[in-house]
Chains A and B, each alone.
Chain A
């Protein structure tokens, strides 16, 4: 059995833990020992052979993809990376399923208490197709599927998966990206003291809680389209004593009052939406902000060379992140302008996360996260 930092993670047996630790070790091995071989093979053999034949380097990620997916080394890494993700979910489904009726009961009991925070679900809200077409991250059922009444399994699985996905990068509370974005805000606007904060696409609230802890006087709201992650996130936040108001809403159009937030954030949500949804999300963010309020939407690195772009696109083809590859090379500022932002009020910034070799799944270069930064005039 392993110590859990809150009571809404399923209890694990010795072998559950051994399976999860194996997956973490396997993914660390693949990232640090096997994945970098793709770059070596490309630079030392594949690209030189292509240059010799064509008199030019591969033009773009599509051309790199054609070359690399024919390579046995790449194929083996790719097949094993996919398998590690499947094994990751299997290792958390076993204990979650075993304990699900109890997890649901405990979440119900905690939700029945008066506070802190709140939970507002909308069973009538249509789920966007970018969630229902594929189970994102190949998590069976994705964020949204319900296998029992008041299901929390989508959240319990997601949170347990985070602990293996990038080795120990997320930290025990999964606060990695919330803290990264918070650090960016503090460096650039050290005096900014938001009184009302909205986190869009919050999943289990793992990135929301750092904001609530950093600004304890602020009223913090968190929205997601999927009920299971919200139920879990609400129970989790209550058990940790952090007040957050969760509601089931689509970031493209919420029911909050215009100008009612000082700060709107999201953490790696954008690449799980669509080209239709993106400008709407930026438009909605602007609508929700008071004049002078800040929008910070952070998303995953997409690579700065055709080869790295090809590697970062791996999840689009192999991990049910269908939209992620559309984000590669996308002019996010242009999309924000399309969403109604004025040219001098929005920009794309980058912040580099300090990650070790075991934590970088797709390239051994710096992981530079993009941040769409907007300040409402």
Chain B
């Protein structure tokens, strides 16, 4: 019987913080962020494949592992990832963007009251 390889636990000792009124939302956000991460990994891998296909016309699996990006390519990829995060996480920033852009809207209730009062 072979010796079991050492295993490092994935979860730290310590109380897990609850940010939302329902802890299920914390868990759900955890899952969503893992999906965001894994999609990013897939995007990177596809991009590597595309670069290699383009440059060589041949695909060797080892070539993906061995691929070293130049500093410029890394910067391009990081910029692409920043745009990706802007798109995926738009909802998180919405209120900040309202405040920054001076586009705070009144509540639906306020607008409805004005409409009912024929203010506009």
Contacts and interface: CB of A to CB of B under 8 A. Distances in A.
Contacts, number: 146
A29 B88 CA distance: 11
A interface, over-half SS: helix
Contact of B82 (A29, A90, A153): A29
A355 interface: no
Contacts of A148: 6
Interface residues of B, number: 45
Given A14-B45, A82-B17, A83-B30, A37 B8 contact: no
Interface residues of A, number: 59
A100 B95 CA distance: 45
Contacts of B12: 89, 134-135, 138-142, 320
A149 B34 CA distance: 32
Nearest to A3: B68
A317 B8 contact: no
Contacts of A34: 89, 92-93, 96
Contacts of B15: 134
Interface of A: 1, 3, 13-15, 18-19, 21-23, 25-26, 28-29, 33-34, 36-37, 40-41, 44-45, 69, 72-73, 75-80, 82-84, 86-87, 89-90, 93, 96-97, 100-101, 133-135, 138-142, 147-148, 151, 153, 157, 317-318, 320
Given A73-B95, A153-B8, 18 more contacts: A14-B45, A21-B78, A22-B81, A25-B40, A25-B82, A34-B89, A34-B92, A79-B20, A80-B92, A82-B19, A100-B6, A133-B14, A135-B13, A140-B10, A141-B8, A151-B6, A153-B6, A317-B17
